[in-house]
Structure 1
Amino acid sequence: MPSGAAGAGVTSEIDRLRRSDITVHVNVGGNINHGQVSIRVLQKRKAFPFGTCVAAWAYNDGSKGAYRDFIHQHYNWAVPENSLKWASIEPNRGQKNYQPGLNMLHGLRNHGIKVRGHNLVWSVDNTVQNWVKALHGDELRKVVHDHIVETINTFKGLVEHWDVNNENLHGQWYQHQLNDNGYNLELFRIAHAADPNVKLFLNDYNVVSNSYSTNDYLRQGQQFKAANVGLYGLGAQCHFGDESDPEPGTKQRLDTLAQVGVPIWATELDVVASDENRRADFYEHALTVLYGHHAVEGILMWGFWDKAHWRGARAALVVGDNLQLTAAGRRVLELFEHRWMTDETHNLAAGTQFTVRGFHGDYEVQVIVQGQEHTNLRQTFSLGNGPHTVNINVS
């Protein structure tokens, strides 16, 4: 984590943003020794979105059970890496295949994992299909409109977000082809009309991992917000540079983007370091600054397995066919499954009322008398931004 005063500041912000008070009151019957009663406050699920991109070719492969199991066990959000992109769905005109994406999304949703849709169109020149590049004018507009509406309807109820026009800061093919600088706004209007409930995002790079495009993204975000086209949030890809520590400057760039006044999601986080302990430090620095920023609403990594990661083993959390944890993988899981989760046990010899500072999420409260849990007294609840009180009668 960041060191010195900066580290203390981030820790304080994590506590302020991601935790709330749980006050437990216990009424103990007169014939029970308080010292024989303990209360365990156990977080079962994290509320904060922590996810990964998922490769359909691996997820849908029956022989890749370890890959699926890792996702189901460790993440609560996911984003398809390629299978929802137009070029994957319709590489040739009229030859559409939504099934790989649908199969994967149904599997993820069946395991309680929420999904970001990525992406409806991608304006970078070399990502546009050749058959689309041959279109002009009203025909191009109609084809794009129909694709967006059909894709949103196909995946309606399966995705929470859509990246509408991916990396529009770095590619404006549709705007140039149509000679219409405002067409990027029109794409949002089409998507918002197709499903007013799904949350729409811009998504771009070099906006948090470095400062090359940060101010341009601020201006674009302000433009889209002012245009009232359905923008919900900013996707910041967070592909940090080769052997580059994410810590310097990351918070300042997040502060800049937060001026738009919409949520920020880290949508494609990865770091690269040959030494896995150095990689672990880099991931910890990035995750800590992101998790400790008031505008950041969710964090998704752009992969975790060396065999399905665009940057290979030097960015991976796990390696090999058995998905063996690296030092980086152990560090990331330590953060999200231990350091930033709550599990406290209090013996009532110290008193029958106590307060736990808990991370937001789903909880189970267990009553343990003489080392045995009384399951009939178990309680569950969800902790959000406000305090929560638990009342227990032990007789």
Structure 2
Amino acid sequence: MGKVWLLLLMVVVVVGEVRGAVLRNGGFESLSGWDCWNIQCYLNSDRHSGQHSALATGRNNYWEGPSQMIQVSAGHSYDVSGWMKLLGGGGGQTLMLEIDYTLADNSHHYETVASSSNKSPQDGWVHLSGAFTVPANLDIRATRFYFQGPKAGIQFLADDASVTDTGHSSSGSGSGSHGNSHSHSAIDQLRKSNINVRITTAAGVNKNDITIRVTQTKKAFPFGTAVNSWKYNANDAGGRYRDFIHKHFNWAVPENALKWPTIEPNRGQKNYDLALNMIHGLKSHGIKVRGHNLVWSVDQFVQGWLKNLWGNDLRAVVKAHIQETMQKTRGLLEHWDVNNENLHGQWFQNQLHDPSYNLELFRIAHAQDSGIKLFLNDYNVVANWGSTNDYLQQAQQFKGAGVGLYGLGAQCHFGVEEDPDVNGVKQRLDRLAQAGLPIWVTELDVVAQDENRRADFYEKVLRTLYSHPAVEGILFWGFWDQAHWRGEAAALVRGNNLDLTAAGRRVLDLLERQWMTEDSRDLAHAGSSYSVRGFHGDYEVQVLNKGQEVAGLRQRFTLGTSDHTPTLHIPG
């Protein structure tokens, strides 16, 4: 009987619509409905609520934990919640709620839907919450929900799990406008102000001959890209690469040149010139630059020589590096990512046995230059729900500690052939915005082999990001197939001549046509006053008489969040 029940439980075909609660026995008052493959599960009286929780023991892999097959519907969104408690293993543990889709070919597609990092037994019961949207483009045959995360051998308790259907999630149009009416309206309200043109004329002026032209010359909103310093500084194709950046972006970030392993791969052997040469070149073309990054806590990105240091020696070396790097780049950068991806790596904290060392890193940077804007920067916080709530808690902790945190860097690396769920992106931005801090999209890319599909993906997500009030800037994580970590499938341009792909044409159409303002009106029809709704940025107003500019009447101004009123007098 038990074998028959298990087989029935494992074969769950994704059909029909399921509303409301999806999990069975989420309170673990028994083990009914739950499976513990390769491990043992027992009821335990230490619980978050009710009478029992589930004890997971005998774990040989980090991904092992209580699991349950669930019925879900393609295109639907689900809220997820669960509680976990570590029973050993020390600090630095990551707790996760995971979804495993079994596809028609028996392959698997995994998605972390909630996580909480750097946890220890002293934290007690830890709440994990998140959400997921079932991909409509995958042939899903079965779906499994499970707890995972602590290292192999570590016991944990699980309790109060829930998966709740919240209904369909529209990802926006795939053609035509490539966005919904809300994003258009929000962009208009958020990114534009009124230009109220007022005109007087001398006697005898033929208004039929006069044209008033309002032209935006520079956008205020930051649209930027990661820059490969070796390519930028090169003399061959680098010239075309540089020209493209200078022409189409107003912000940039060194992809690798400012990272500590690049600057000092071996102790005492330092090279700042690679980064500084590029930064000076960018700034000479009016491009503002972010600093990325002072420290990177993920183990694999810490230099070998640094891993041999401990205690006060390590603290002194890290402090000296931060101070020296910020001094050498002083006045050249607008931002610094201080401790990159600290949700997903705590090497420095673990090496020093100091969980609060990440706060100390910010204090060091803030003391070195209080005028520069300091950021957290992490992934799985906007593109999906994996670490969104964990990131919000970290932001609130740093903000409350008063260590100089300015904003949140949200890496937005979407999955291979993943059609961005624009409603989910908006919800995650809304969640992070609860910290009351600006959000910068620091590392945007999508991946699709078909360049028209890629264009749709980029447009969907760009419209969603640009229309959100908490988003202050958007940077692509590269654009050229020969200098992109994800290759041509993510690129806007390709080849030695940097030819635009369909995605590149779509993106530039947004940035340089749809999201820039140009207006020309004949005075005879415009009258003595009219208004232009313009994107924020720098402008010129010109008066033309029979197509020729009237000398001395050109005006320049910057349009911000307040309306602007240029007044023109046209002489006879």
**Pairwise TM-score range, normalised by the shorter structure:** over 0.9
Structure 1, gaps ≥5 residues long: none
Q: Map 1:131-210 to 2 at 5 A.
A: 131-210=305-384
C-alpha contact 1:305 1:317 (8 A) present in aligned 2: yes
Aligned match of 2:519: 344
Q: Deviations over 1:66-112 (max 9, x none)?
A: 00000000000000000000000000000000000000000000000
Deviations 1:192-237 (A, max 9, x none): 0000000000000000011000000000000000001000000000
Q: Provide Cα deviations, 1:301-326, integer angstroms capped at 9, x if missing partner.
A: 00000000000000000000000000
Asked whether 1:385 is paired with 2:558, we answer: no
Q: 2:195 matched to 1:22?
A: yes
2:59 equivalent to 1:59: no
Q: How far did residue 375 of structure 1 move? A: 3.4
Name the amino acid aligned to 2:464.
Answer: V
Counterpart AA for 2:489: R
Conserved 8 A contact 2:178-2:460: no
Structure 1 residue 97 corresponds to structure 2 residue 271: yes
What corresponds to 2:223 in structure 1? 50
User: Cα offset for 1:36?
Assistant: 1.1
Higher alpha-carbon deviation: 279-288 or 238-247: 238-247
Out of 521, 534, 543, the position equivalent to 1:358 is: 534
Partner of residue 211 from structure 2, selected from 35, 38, 49: 38
TM-superposed deviation, 1:14: 0.5
Judge conservation of contact 1:208–1:237 (CA < 8 Å) in 2.
Answer: yes
Mapped pair 1:277 → 2:452: yes
**Normalising by structure 1, what TM-score?**
0.99
1:321 aligns with 2:491: no
Given the two structures, how large is their TM-score scaled by the length of structure 2? 0.68
- 1:163 and 1:2 map into 2 onto residues whose CA distance is 32
Opposite residue 56 of structure 1, the aligned amino acid is: S
Q: Do the aligned partners of 1:117 and 1:163 also contact (CA within 8 Å) in 2? A: yes
Aligned to 1:78: 252
Taking the aligned partners of 1:87 and 1:345, their CA distance within structure 2 comes to 52
Matched, 1:368 2:544: yes
The SS at the match of 1:102 is: helix
Give the conservation status (yes or no) of the 8 Å contact 1:366–1:375. no
Shift of residue 62 of structure 1? 1.4
Rg (Cα) greater in structure: 2
Alpha-carbon distance in 1 for matches of 2:559, 2:434: 28
Counterpart for residue 2 of structure 1: 172
Q: How many residues align?
A: 395
Quote the Cα distance in structure 1 between the aligned partners of 2:430 and 2:521.
Answer: 39
| Distance change (3 Å), C-alpha of 1:5 and 1:268 | closer
* Partners of 2:322 and 2:364 within 8 A in 1: yes
Whether the 8 Å contact between 2:259 and 2:294 is mirrored in structure 1 is yes
Describe the SS at the equivalent of 1:249: helix
Code of the residue aligned with 2:309 in structure 1: it is: L
Give the whole-Å Cα distance in 1 for the aligned partners of 2:299 and 2:336: 20
Structure 1 106/6 Cα, relative in aligned 2: closer, same or farther at 3 Å?
closer
Higher RCO structure (Cα 8 Å, ≥6 apart):
1
> 2:294–2:339: 8 Å Cα contact kept in structure 1?
yes
Give the Cα separation in 2 of the matches to 1:11 and 1:28: 36
Give 1:248 shift: 4.2
Alpha-carbon displacement from aligned partner over 1:286-337 (angstroms, at most 9, x marks no partner) = 1100000000000000000000000000000000000000000000000010
Q: Percent identity?
A: 65
Separation in 2, partners of 1:319, 1:173:
37
Q: How much has 1:11 moved relative to structure 2?
A: 1.0
Supply the RMSD in Å over aligned alpha carbons: 1.2
- AA aligned opposite 1:270: D
Larger strand share, 1 or 2:
2
**Which amino acid is 1:362 matched to?**
D
SS at 1:101's partner residue?
A: helix
Relative to structure 1, is the Cα distance of residues 13 and 99 closer, same or farther in structure 2, using a 3 angstrom cutoff? same
- Residues 1:342 and 1:5: Cα distance change in structure 2 (over 3 Å): closer
Any idea what SS the aligned residue of 1:377 has? coil
Paired residues of 1:237 and 1:266 also in contact (CA < 8 A):
yes
Q: How many angstroms does 1:115 deviate by? A: 0.2
Structure with more of its chain in helix, by fraction: 1
Query: Do residues 332 (structure 1) and 515 (structure 2) align?
Result: no
Matched, 1:234 2:408: yes
- Give yes or no for contact 2:178–2:459 (8 Å, CA) kept in 1: no
3-state SS, counterpart of residue 375 of structure 1: coil
The amino acid across from 1:348 in the alignment is L
Q: Equivalences for 1:262-273 in 2 at 5 Å?
A: 262-273=437-448
Q: Distance in 1 between matches of 2:408 and 2:496?
A: 35
